[in-house]
Amino acid sequence: MSTTTSIESNTFQNLKLIEPILKALKDANYETPTPIQSSAIPLILAQHDFLGIAQTGTGKTAAFLLPILDLMYRNPTPRVSKCPKVLILTPTRELAIQIHQSLHVYGKYLKQKYSVIFGGVGQGNQVKDLAAGTDVLVATPGRLLDLIGQRFLRLDQVETFVLDEADRMLDMGFFKDIKKVIPMLPPKRHNLFFSATMPAEISKLADTILRNPQKIEVTPPSTTVERIRQTVMFVDKKDKMNLLVRVLGLSEFKKVLVFVEMKHGANRVVEKLQKNGIGAAAIHGNKSQNARQKALEDFTKNRIQVLVATDIASRGIDIDQISHVINFELSHVVENYVHRIGRTARAGKEGQSLIFCDAEEKSFLKAIEKETKQTIEVVTEHPYHSQEVMESQVVSLGRAKARVEKKRQDFRQRRSR
Ligand code: AMP
């Protein structure tokens, strides 16, 4: 595998993209390519297989969509019913919808057709759309296999295959599905592979898919994280809700994403906020697709101040101008924390993140500081500050994790009774 250092190109013109794409980028107010775009676009245009180690927030979507659209324009082939030419696999419906929307933004002056399929909604319209023929298909793995099984879709004409957020696919249990998809693709194809992290399993998968890839790594955790003012407030668990209502009353908390660990917790927080007259909605896996879309739209359009989310549901949500990310509960997975706070400070802007840390979460806080090599600023000037929590002993990470796991199990058991 060869590694290429980034070739800095400061304009999209320098990247030699076709005029209709440059025009669309101008309409979207994109002035300068992000580092992954400067590096990836020339390599993908030269039809290299590509491995990008990058997460959302780096501009990676445009890094693969722009050259794909460009190549399709330069090498046109006829559209065939049920047989897309480009397949983009992505783990969540939200990401699928966002990539599809981005196709319409970047490709609005092109004549290609862009389609999206995902589960949780009826398949009728998706089937009709595929039957009419499409050029670029964005899909989540489950619905893709489902429609292939019903013969509404074939992958034997795919020229370009993009696997997006591979590590998230692994987390969400989609590996088996991906391994079923690969043999359905033609052996000769152009492959693009993106993942925020490269654990051994992902690396192995990349080896089976990619041929002689060019590899680019961008490290947004440091660059993004540096632009985020990270703070922690020590608070008793029972006071967290009051603290939340209090901070949300501050005028600078305009558009706030609140993270909780469990789905039922998200609903509870939303109910309490609404009782306090604060516009809020939740997104998590138990909500219908329509409810999730509505919540996202209300939040994007500033009809509600707060979106309460779980990690999986929030993955990849790309909403501009989130002023604050609040960790109402702290994840015991450091990577989740980095992803959470990366929802603010998008595309070069600055952001602020807060952690509401109770005594049980202190070991997670310590793990975050250790892994991100940053000290998180402690804010004590608030009415619910707990000196006791601040000074309490930190239990070992292993014990704290086991406690979280036990709580989850107990909850599941209570539910199933
Ligand atoms: P992504 O990493 O693909 O999720 O993109 C993150 C955000 O950055 C999205 O809102 C994009 O619309 C935006 N974006 C991507 N590339 C650029 C660019 N070159 N200039 C301005 N905004 C961009």
Cα–ligand 1 centroid distance for 290 (angstroms): 25
Please report which confidence band the pLDDT of residue 3 belongs to, taking 50, 70 and 90 as the band edges: very low
**274 or 346: whose pLDDT is higher?**
274
**102 CA closest ligand 1 atom index:** 12
Cα–ligand 1 centroid distance for 65 (angstroms): 12
Residues in contact with ligand 1 (CB, 6 Å cut-off): 30, 32-34, 37, 56-62, 318, 320, 346-347
Residues above pLDDT 90, as percent of the chain: 64
Q: How many residues does the chain have?
A: 417
Q: Which of 11, 30, 97 to mutate to test the pocket of ligand 1 (most atoms within 8 A of CB)?
A: 30
Q: How far is CA 333 from the centre of its chain?
A: 16
**55 CA closest ligand 1 atom index:** 2
Cα–ligand 1 centroid distance for 378 (angstroms): 31
> What does the CA dihedral 352, 356, 359, 361 come to, rounded to 10 degrees?
-60
Q: Do 41 and 158 lie in a common domain?
A: yes
Q: Does residue 284 fall inside a structural domain? A: yes
Cα–ligand 1 centroid distance for 223 (angstroms): 15
Q: Do 183 and 239 lie in a common domain?
A: no
Rounded to whole angstroms, the Cα distance separating 11 from 24 reads: 14
Cα–ligand 1 centroid distance for 273 (angstroms): 31
Q: Which of 95-104, 348-357, 385-394 has the highest mean pLDDT?
A: 95-104
Give pLDDT, residue 354: 95
Please report, for the domain that includes residue 302, its CATH number: 3.40.50.300
Q: How far is CA 160 from the centre of its chain?
A: 22
Cα–ligand 1 centroid distance for 56 (angstroms): 9
Give pLDDT, residue 225: 61
Q: Do 316 and 368 lie in a common domain?
A: yes
Cα–ligand 1 centroid distance for 34 (angstroms): 8
Q: Does residue 222 fall inside a structural domain? A: no
Instruction: Read off the pLDDT of each residue in 235-242 and give the average, rounded to a whole number.
Output: 96
Q: How far is CA 188 from the centre of its chain?
A: 29
**60 CA closest ligand 1 atom index:** 3
Are 235 and 326 in contact, with CB atoms under 8 Å apart?
Answer: no
Cα–ligand 1 centroid distance for 348 (angstroms): 9
- Is 324 a residue whose pLDDT tops 70? yes
Cα–ligand 1 centroid distance for 351 (angstroms): 16
**56 CA closest ligand 1 atom index:** 2
* Average model confidence (pLDDT) across the chain: 89
Question: Considering only 114-128, 263-277, 312-326, which range has the smallest mean pLDDT?
Answer: 312-326
**336 or 71: whose pLDDT is higher?**
71
Residue 51 β-bridge partners: 193, 215
Question: Considering only 51-65, 129-143, 401-415, which range has the smallest mean pLDDT?
Answer: 401-415
- Is 313 a residue whose pLDDT tops 80? no
- Is 5 a residue whose pLDDT tops 50? no
Give pLDDT, residue 377: 92
Domain boundary among 197, 217, 237: 217
Q: Do 247 and 395 lie in a common domain?
A: yes
3-state class (DSSP) for residue 190: strand
Give pLDDT, residue 187: 96
Q: Does residue 398 fall inside a structural domain? A: yes
Please report which confidence band the pLDDT of residue 347 belongs to, taking 50, 70 and 90 as the band edges: low
**98 CA closest ligand 1 atom index:** 4
Q: Does residue 223 fall inside a structural domain? A: no
Protein residue with least CA distance to atom 10, ligand 1: 318
**285 or 280: whose pLDDT is higher?**
280
Q: Do 117 and 240 lie in a common domain?
A: no
Instruction: Read off the pLDDT of each residue in 104-128 and give the average, rounded to a whole number.
Output: 96
Among 349, 357, 340, CA closest to 320: 349
Give pLDDT, residue 238: 96
Protein residue with least CA distance to atom 11, ligand 1: 59
User: Which of 99-106's residues contact partners 24+ apart within 8 Å by CB, and which partners?
Assistant: 99/61, 99/65, 99/138, 99/164, 100/138, 102/61, 102/62, 102/65, 103/65, 103/69, 103/136, 103/138, 105/24, 105/27, 105/28, 106/21, 106/24, 106/25, 106/28, 106/62, 106/65, 106/66, 106/69
3-state secondary structure labels for all residues of 86-126: EEEECCCHHHHHHHHHHHHHHCCCCCCCEEEECCCCCCHHH
Sheet holding 324-327, edge to edge: 280-283, 306-309, 256-259, 324-327, 351-357, 228-234, 377-378
**336 or 78: whose pLDDT is higher?**
78
Cα–ligand 1 centroid distance for 59 (angstroms): 4
DSSP output for 218-240: --HHHHHHHTEEEEEEE--GGGH
Protein residue with least CA distance to atom 4, ligand 1: 56
- Is 375 a residue whose pLDDT tops 90? no
Give pLDDT, residue 4: 40
Residue 161 β-bridge partners: 87, 191
Instruction: Read off the pLDDT of each residue in 345-363 and give the average, rounded to a whole number.
Output: 82
Give pLDDT, residue 316: 59
**408 or 117: whose pLDDT is higher?**
117
CB half-sphere exposure, 239, CA atoms < 13 A: 17
Q: Do 30 and 178 lie in a common domain?
A: yes
Question: Considering only 37-46, 61-70, 94-103, 166-175, which range has the smallest mean pLDDT?
Answer: 166-175
Protein residue with least CA distance to atom 19, ligand 1: 33
Extended beta strands in 299-386, E state = 306-309, 324-327, 351-357, 377-378
Q: Do 203 and 334 lie in a common domain?
A: no
Give pLDDT, residue 9: 44
Cα–ligand 1 centroid distance for 324 (angstroms): 19
Please report which residue ranges of 182-310 form alpha helices under DSSP H: 200-209, 220-226, 240-248, 263-275, 289-300
Global pTM value: 0.63
- Is 10 a residue whose pLDDT tops 80? no
Domain boundary among 166, 186, 217: 217
pLDDT per position as a tens digit, 190-238? 999 999 888 888 999 999 999 999 999 886 544 456 678 899 999 999 9
- Give the residue numbers spanning the domain of 350: 228-416
Q: Which of 25, 61, 300, 339 to mutate to test the pocket of ligand 1 (most atoms within 8 A of CB)?
A: 61
> Number of folded domains in the chain?
2
Give pLDDT, residue 94: 87
Residue 229 β-bridge partners: 352
How many other CB atoms are there within 10 angstroms of residue 333's CB atom? Answer: 15
Q: Do 166 and 29 lie in a common domain?
A: yes
Q: Does residue 43 fall inside a structural domain? A: yes
Protein residue with least CA distance to atom 1, ligand 1: 59
Please report which confidence band the pLDDT of residue 307 belongs to, taking 50, 70 and 90 as the band edges: very high
Q: Do 166 and 106 lie in a common domain?
A: yes
Residues 6 or more apart from 68 whose CB is under 8 A from it? 44, 86, 136, 160, 162, 192
Q: Do 232 and 211 lie in a common domain?
A: no
Q: Do 257 and 366 lie in a common domain?
A: yes
Give pLDDT, residue 107: 97
- Is 255 a residue whose pLDDT tops 50? yes
Q: Which of 318, 319, 344 to mutate to test the pocket of ligand 1 (most atoms within 8 A of CB)?
A: 318
Q: Do 295 and 244 lie in a common domain?
A: yes
Domain boundary among 168, 195, 217: 217
